[in-house]
Amino acid sequence: MSERLEKSWSAVLVAARTHHNSLVDEGAIDEDRVRLTIAARVAEVKELTTPIAEGGKGLSQRQAAKVLGVSHTTVQQDLADKLPENGNKVATEGKADGGRAASQRNVRNHHYRSAVADDED
């Protein structure tokens, strides 16, 4: 990624984070109901569990799990780098059904939360 594009995206992300924080402060968004994408969570897990001497936060896996609102098993899996590049939880390579059955089980067994932004007052 070019430096110019990276700076541009950084500015967008900072603005989005600032806006998000102001919505949380106003009570428009329940911060506990917002979830990270898998890729963002993996990055957060790595930052949180990297030793302080190496530029991280130095948390244990269980502490990082509590901060992120996930299980310590999820943190272990994120650190193991076993996720496919597309971010799906289930690798589909070599499965007769393309992995659809396993993916459907994952969706049925998890409760997903989402935040809805409505600009109408």
pLDDT, tens digit, 9 for 90 and up, residues 29-76: 777 767 788 888 999 999 999 999 999 999 999 999 988 888 999 999
Give the 3-state DSSP-derived string for the chain, with helices as H, strands as E and coil as C. Answer: CCHHHHHHHHHHHHHHHHHHHHHHHHCCCCHHHCCCCHHHHHHHHHHHHCCHHHCCCCCCHHHHHHHHCCCHHHHHHHHCCCCCCCCCCCCCCCCCCCCHHHHHHHHHCCCCCCCCCCCCC
- 0.75 surpassed by pTM: no
Provide the residue ranges of all domains of the chain, joining segments of one domain with +: 1-34, 36-83
pLDDT confidence band for 79 (50 / 70 / 90): very high
- Give every CB contact of residue 27 below 8 A, 6+ residues apart in sequence: none
Asked if the model's pLDDT at residue 7 lies above 80, the reply is: yes
